[in-house]
Amino acid sequence: MRTGIVVFPGTWSDRDCAHTLLDVLQEPVRYVDHREQHLDGLDLVILPGGFSYGDHLRCGAIARFAPVMEAVTDFANRGGLVLGICNGFQILQEARLLPGALLRNASCEFRCEWVNLRVEQSESAFTHDCRPGQVLRIPISHGEGNFFADPDTLDAIERNGQVVFRYCAPDGRVTANANPNGSLRNIAGIANSRGNVVGMMPHPERACEALLGSVDGLAVFRSAIHALTRVGV
């Protein structure tokens, strides 16, 4: 699997993602500058966490107009795998590759803590190795991760099976207390209708080694590897 990690001014999770793929999973990686206009030879594109362009205007609003995003959109439309993590999720929404918006946390506080995620479906490219109902322990680190969409959009993504992860209790129950940011219906990650583009607020790259406290994040990356293997890449 050949992965490109997009780096915008203000991105800071690019090295964590590269460490997971290159050092832990032994998969080749290259950094993609925000000014690049081609993504030739890649199988997976990751938009990592950070504060692209300082989060001026609103999170992801400026990054959406970076030259590389036209290439990312074309890549996604051709079926390429795209994963947006935290700020990357925000950018994918701004680029209209994913529905909804991410608002300021209901607490109005930056939240950096471990959370539990319930896997809602195994049809996306990033949950192939998971089973519905499986609980993953993965950390969050964000100030604007409060998932919002209008009622019609919420109903549509539920109906289409596009909700990928929900915040939950350790036993898998979806409760208000398990929701760290006020996200509607405890939504922590969604996919596009095709399942090749996923955005999630938690950071799976920070849960890929036992030394860090969890290896549950590996399921996300290994799912992508196996999804590509299934289509003969």
Question: b or e along 18-33 (b: 16 or more beta carbons within 10 Å of the residue's beta carbon)?
Answer: bebbeeebebebeebe
Res. 43: pLDDT tops 70: yes
SS3 state at 200: strand
| Annotation says 86 is catalytic | yes
Query: Per-residue confidence at 231, pLDDT binned at 50, 70, 90?
Result: low
**What is the model's pLDDT at position 57?**
85
Which of the following is catalytic: 27, 94, 144, 205? 205
| Annotation says 203 is catalytic | yes
Q: In terms of residue numbers, what domain contains 11?
A: 3-231
- The number of domains in the chain is 1
CATH code for position 155: 3.40.50.880
Which of the following is catalytic: 27, 59, 203, 208? 203
pLDDT in tens, 113-151: 999 999 999 999 999 999 999 999 999 999 999 999 999
Which of the following is catalytic: 59, 86, 130, 208? 86
- CA 6 vs. chain centroid, Å, equals 13
pLDDT in tens, 56-85: 889 999 999 999 999 999 999 999 999 999
